[in-house]
Copies of this chain bind each other. A is one copy, B any other.
Amino acid sequence: MNAYTVAVVGGIGLVGRAFLRLLQERRFPMGEVRLLGSERTAGRKVHFRGEELEVQQLTAQSFHHVHLAFFAVNPEISSHYAPVAAKSGAVVVDNSPAFRMEPWVPLVVPEVNGADLARHRGIVANPNALTTLLALPLGALHRISPVERVIVDTYQSVSGAGQVAVEELSQQMRLVLEGKNAVSHVFPHQLAFNVLPQIDPFYDNGYSREEWRLIQETRKVLHSPELAISATCVRVPVLQGDSAAVHAELTRPITPEDAQTILGDAAGVKVLDEPDVGLYPHPWMITGQEDVLVGRIRRDFSNPRGLAFWLVGDNILRGHALNAVLITETMAREGWL
């Protein structure tokens, strides 16, 4: 078995660290590991496999002999350096939105459309966290009875906006509980004891970038470019774990009982659905969960072929890091690294 040389661009962020930890836990055969970062982070040290890894400054020469380069940085850096890494012979798994909608770039949730990896041309895109969390149960239903229409309203945690957002929410909560005014830098308004129907800026069509990404990426992952889909993405005062209320219209109706079986058998999905005894997913229970949890499975009474459910997933782990690791493992297994 080969030992792969792995580069992580942005290895000290929430997602980059989780990616490395998972690769190690799952015994991915890693040789050299290079942490790459900006001038600002270069020189910082990270404890990994019993040694201190020092962040090196990212340059065009950074990817020499690298088999896999995971990018967990902003789309500007990915746009510039992912093609450089691919040209050096590395396979790039890009966590940013930079390449997700490029027709030649596979956008992959391995359990749903892992076969798309076969047509990679050096760059593979990791979807938006919520796309992955939605695609896992929706993809499982779609295989049995194609989804014709879906409406998704989300309840998204602050960790998706980074560590600084996590700290801002806690600080705001403290201030409000002391009767003081909360200060907002990361969020457009106070988020403590509040919810905000805005994640990222808005387009002219009235949708936020987050909503539009969820719509477009879901269509691409499901191979359903005309899928009728709408979404409202809402930030809630939760630290980790994204939730969504999903209303799907299927080609042929699926009963809630059958949906429980289909989703219970689906890879990456776990059903937790005994509301009578208080058993349903909620974000406080989600940190560290590798599966998307699904509950509240019931008929959607707005349509004879409607099915409604509720999902919660660890946006950092399952939404980003684990999905990238599963892509990496598939690529290694198929001999593409």
Chain B residues whose CB sits within 8 angstroms of the CB of A196 once the complex forms:
282
Q: By the criterion CB–CB under 8 Å, are A280 and B197 in contact?
A: yes
Closest beta carbon of chain B to A314's beta carbon, Å = 14
> Does chain B have a CB within 8 A of A261?
no
- A:154-175 near B, CB below 8 Å: 155, 170, 173-174
Residue among B188, B229, B243 making CB contact with A278, cutoff 8 Å:
B188
Closest beta carbon of chain B to A191's beta carbon, Å = 9
Chain B residues whose CB sits within 8 angstroms of the CB of A149 once the complex forms:
302-303
Please measure, in the bound complex, the distance between the C-alpha atom of A189 and the C-alpha atom of B236, giving whole angstroms. 17
Closest beta carbon of chain B to A40's beta carbon, Å = 29
> Does chain B have a CB within 8 A of A284?
yes
Q: By the criterion CB–CB under 8 Å, are A190 and B296 in contact?
A: no
> Does chain B have a CB within 8 A of A62?
no
Chain B residues whose CB sits within 8 angstroms of the CB of A206 once the complex forms:
256, 275, 296-299
> Does chain B have a CB within 8 A of A48?
no
Q: By the criterion CB–CB under 8 Å, are A155 and B278 in contact?
A: no
Give 24 CB contacts A-B under 8 Å.
A150-B302, A151-B247, A151-B300, A153-B153, A153-B245, A155-B236, A173-B173, A173-B177, A174-B177, A193-B238, A195-B243, A197-B245, A206-B256, A206-B297, A206-B299, A208-B275, A215-B301, A228-B301, A228-B302, A229-B302, A232-B308, A232-B310, A236-B236, A247-B247
